[in-house]
């Protein structure tokens, strides 16, 4: 009974930010694919330039994903007193911020590479 009362205090926001992280990460991965497959190409742009421009959007989406990883980190590292359920939540989700940061850094690097050299691919 006590767990149900304290569960939303930590777990609900973690799950919300985890979902947002996954959403923006998937969108970041799909952006270059959509850029080269969906026929929304402006008349004056080449496909390679359009693909290159998608890299900037990948970086933006990856940074938004990273902000959700930081939000999870902040939830798991409070600056005050915590409830008794905190240790269980920390054990369950404690490794997420590190994993998510690594994923978002890879996405940022991918987006930067596409943004810089996408027209050469």
Write down the pLDDT at residue 6. Answer: 46
For every residue of 10-50, DSSP letters joined together read HHHHHHHHHHHHHHHHHHHHHHHHHHHHSS---TT--HHHH
All residues at 6 or more sequence positions from 96 whose CB lies less than 8 Å from its CB, including other chains = 14, 18, 69, 72, 76
Q: Looking at residue 46, what is its pLDDT?
A: 80
> How far apart (Å, rounded) are the C-alpha atoms in residues 75 and 108?
23
pLDDT at 10: 80
Per-residue pLDDT of the chain (121 residues; tens, 9 = 90+): 444 554 557 888 889 999 999 999 999 999 999 988 877 777 777 888 888 889 999 999 999 999 999 999 988 887 777 766 777 777 778 888 999 999 999 999 999 999 998 878 7
Query: Token match 């998608």: residue?
Result: 54
Domain spans in the chain, listed from the N-terminal domain onward: 2-120
The pLDDT assigned to 1 comes to 44
Instruction: State how far the alpha carbon of 2 is from the alpha carbons of 5, 52, 78, 116, in Å.
Output: 5, 52, 20, 53
pLDDT of residue 18: 94
């Amino acid at each position: 009974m006590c767990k149900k009362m304290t569960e939303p205090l930590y777990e609900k926001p973690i799950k919300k930010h985890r979902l947002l992280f996954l959403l923006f990460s998937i969108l970041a991965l799909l952006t270059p694919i959509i850029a080269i497959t969906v026929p929304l190409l402006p008349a004056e742009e080449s496909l390679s330039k359009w693909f290159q421009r998608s890299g900037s959007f990948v970086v933006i989406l990856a940074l938004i994903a990273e902000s959700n990883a930081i939000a999870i980190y902040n939830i798991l590292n409070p600056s005050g007193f915590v409830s008794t359920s905190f240790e269980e939540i920390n054990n369950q989700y404690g490794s997420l911020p590190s994993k998510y940061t690594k994923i978002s850094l890879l996405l940022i690097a991918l987006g930067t590479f596409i943004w810089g050299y996408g027209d050469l691919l």
